[in-house]
Amino acid sequence: MRRYELTLFADYHQFYIQDEKADGDLSDAWNDAAVERLLAVGPGTVGIGTVRNVEVPVTISVLEQEPVLDADKFDHIVECSIAVESGAIVTAGCTDYFPDAARITIPKGSYRVRASFEGLDSVSGNGLAGNDHYHLQLWPAPTGPVQVLKQRV
């Protein structure tokens, strides 16, 4: 397992992971259902919704196989697939400068992405402070549907 700890600027309440060669445009993917599930998906791109639009802590773990689901620990959990054709994923806020964004090298192929959200109810009234944390787990897997494994209340 490889684990990366990042702080990303979640401008417009979102950040992305995407194949380095993908165009990353999720403007049409952020429909009402995607906003509700905090997850938008496009070719080679996954958008993660956040409850704050400031810098947020993000953990990315690249695994060899599907992890055990820990639903009790998290407020909200969603899954989707991403195709990685370039051998690298880029992790960035939607307004970050792409050439300077963090990159993670992984083998080409199809991956599942599990996004687990923690501390969503800890955000202050003005949305500037909170203990929210966004955990992403990626593992090789066939392409599958978008799934809400645990819906926040």
What's the CATH class of domain 2-150? mainly beta
Q: What is the pTM of this model?
A: 0.95
Give me the chain's average pLDDT, please: 95
Q: How far apart are the first and last CA of the chain?
A: 31
Q: List the chain domain ranges.
A: 2-150
Give me the pLDDT at residue 59, please. Answer: 98
17-37 mean pLDDT: 94
